Amino acid sequence: MILQSLYQRYMDLAKDPSSGVSPLYFSAGKVSYLLEIEPDGSLLQVTDIRMKQGKKMVPQLLVVPEQSSRSSGIAPYFLSDKAEYLLGHYSVVPDEKIAEKKKTDALRKFEASRQLARDVLQYAKESEKKLAVVRAMLAFYDLWDPERVREHPQLQHIMNDLDKGIDTNMAFRLCTQHARIDEADAVRTAWIVSRQQADAESDYNSQCLLTGESNVPIARTHDKIKGIRNAQSAGASLVSFNFHSAESYGKDSMQSYNSPVGRTAMFGYTTALNHLLSSPRNRMWIGDMTVVFWSGQATDAEQIEASFAAYFDSQPEPVEDTQLTEQVQDILKRARNGARLDSDMVPQGNTPFFIMGLSPNNARVAVRFFWQGNFGELVSRLGRHVADLALAGYEEHHLKTPTIYRILAETMRVGGDGRKVGEGPPSIIGGELLRAVIQGKAYPLSLFTMIINRIRADGTVNHLRVSIVKAYLSRYSRIFRNDHLKEELTVELNSQAQEPAYRLGRLFAVLEKAQQEAASGKLNATIKDRYFGAASSNPGAVFPILLKLSQHHMSKSRYGDFRDREVQEILQEVHSFPAHLDLQRQGVFVLGYYHQKQHFASQIKAAAEAKQEAAAAAEAAQ
């Protein structure tokens, strides 16, 4: 299913010339220099085609004859390769034995590159052999002397970079033409024919699992996947066997024949996955997991993919706002406000959509999860996530759904300047959180535990932390059909909720308010700074002390009688203070405290607005 989806992605991209995806037998390769040769094969000059990126010069990524992965041995690429292959370059070192070995290896690599070029160019048609590019290329390999590579005058200005091994990838260009030699029709045709001949000589033909075609050459090994965080720089394999217990029916496990995938199909799925991993629009990193996602439809694919990325990526790729993105944002806003959300309400809702999480595993790629559905179902899941997080008191500039990065950052310690400091949560939690959102499963218990412990440790009860607490409890109650907290898990204060932990959280907020009013706001610290953690876990030991203190605060406060009535109303349904609250009820306590605090804030805001309206009315009457 995964490989078929990726192969279909390749087929869709191949139809679009602007996609930048490599055609069969070609791949994207880095090129730093162009070796410009004369028609007689002599080297005229070396042109630096690197681009400036910030303060660095970086190679261009061009479509060149396929460059399969190579980890050891000598494996030349056709007409686009490192300087040691194309020119026989070798660096000089003080140790004579090492220097001689480097020179010998470079000569062997150059000889392999020359032989490959000659073998491929022999497939050019007779009439095309007379073309200047083919003649010039063959003449270069006849004339070039790798023994004197370090003395060539046209290489002196880049010799230091070549010796350091910095961006030494090169390609050829005939000085009388603008295009590279490997782009010439005759050369491309010769390369394709040579590859087709090699495929026809395959030692194993069978039915391809991806396409269903019979008697096709099966890929002996699969190309490496690059761009996965913390994986080997040379790439890692998605399909690979290297232990005897995986052998079956006499097939050699080292050849990947236990998963018979045709060479063409193998090229397609690996190209598609590497293209996704190289595209910031289709890739993001969450914890230790690299996530790629794509739409199964060419129409509006950019907007559809960007709509998903915007709700999870900390720095999504900018995309022009369209009617589709506006509609998706409106749907999620409705979900936040508690409206029902169905997948058929989503524009382009039937569009197939795929999400895959990948992690490195030595020289292989581990698929952490794979989700396949349609865009409408995905937006519905996102809407459920938005609704679970919804909580009163969100500031205007935070109306957007918090990304996974912001959610995970709340598990970190808050420094004196209010910034997050210290280590974040274990990287695995990010993947579990994303999986919970996409698949509609329960949020990670470890995330909930870390948030509760962080609140108890530093006493910071902000909107996002409480949103996470509410979201966890809401989804837990819904999935496990536990309705006893239904009254407490609301967007704003529910004064009728009976759960003792919720009422005790409200009570703590009232007692804190009484203290603040008694001191007219002139406090360095409140009871929250000293007692919140203990009150949320061991209320039986803390609240009797707090109630005694509150009598002193209320006697001094202008609103003491009002706070006393609030305390009586809250305690009316609390028959005793529990000696201990479990982790779940500590979350309910936090939610009750926050709801009551936001209720006070809304009262102050309403009073201020009423005062302004009255003043405006009086001014208008005059």
Domains of the chain, by residue range, sit at 32-201, 293-353+372-470, 482-622
Is residue 296 pLDDT above 90, yes or no?
A: no
Condensed to tens digits (0 to 9), the pLDDT of residues 359-377 reads 988 888 999 889 998 888 8
Rg of the chain over Cα atoms, rounded to whole angstroms, equals 33
The closest of 465, 425, 444, 498 to 591, measured between CA atoms, is 465
For the chain, give the mean pLDDT.
85
Q: Sorting pLDDT into bands at 50, 70 and 90, what band is 396?
A: very low
Whole-model pTM: value is 0.78
Say which range, 415-424, 475-484, 600-609, has the weakest mean pLDDT.
415-424
pLDDT at 537: 94
Residue 216 has a pLDDT of 87
Minimum mean pLDDT among 329-338, 381-390, 411-420, 559-568: which range?
329-338
Residue 392's contacts (CB-CB under 8 Å, 6 or more residues apart) are: 491, 492, 493, 595, 598, 602
Instruction: Name the residue with higher pLDDT: 290 or 16.
Output: 290
How many angstroms separate the CA atoms of 593 and 180, rounded?
A: 69
Task: Assign 496 a pLDDT band (cuts: 50, 70, 90).
Answer: very high
Q: Does pLDDT of 395 surpass 70?
A: no
pLDDT at 250: 66
CA distances 23 to 300, 365, 528, 537, 596, Å, are 23, 24, 64, 62, 62
**Residue of higher predicted confidence among 346 and 476:** 476
Average pLDDT over residues 39-55: 92
pLDDT grade for 46, boundaries at 50, 70 and 90 = very high
Burial of 546 (0-12, 13-18, 19+ CB in 10 A): buried
Give the span between the Cα atoms of 234 and 255, in whole angstroms: 19
pLDDT given for residue 471 in this prediction: 95
Phi and psi at residue 61, to the nearest 5°: -100, 110
pLDDT at residue 255, as a whole number: 64
Non-local (6+) Cβ contacts of 386 within 8 A are 332, 335, 336, 401
8 A C-beta contact, residue 63 and residue 28: yes
Measured between alpha carbons, how far is 299 from 363 in angstroms, rounded to an integer? 36
Q: What pLDDT sits at residue 459?
A: 86
Distance between CA atoms of residues 247 and 221, nearest Å: 15
Pairing of strands 170-174, 33-37: parallel
The residue ranking higher by pLDDT, 116 or 70, is: 116
145, pLDDT greater than 50: yes
Average pLDDT of the segment spanning 164-170? 87
Whether pLDDT at 342 is above 60: yes
Q: Residue 497 has which token pair?
A: 């909720």
CA–CA–CA angle 99, 101, 102 (5° rounding): 65
Higher pLDDT, 204 or 569: 569
What band does 210 get if pLDDT is binned at 50, 70 and 90?
Answer: confident
Tell me: the pLDDT tens digits for 250-282? Answer: 666 556 778 888 888 999 999 999 999 988 888
| Residue 598: partners with Cβ closer than 8 Å, 6 or more residues away | 392, 393, 492, 493
Burial of 238 (0-12, 13-18, 19+ CB in 10 A): buried
What is the C-alpha to C-alpha distance for residues 434 and 407, in angstroms, rounded to an integer?
11
Compute φ and ψ for 49, nearest 5 degrees.
-110, 15
Contact 390, 338 (CB under 8 A): yes
- What average pLDDT does range 405-417 have in this prediction? 84
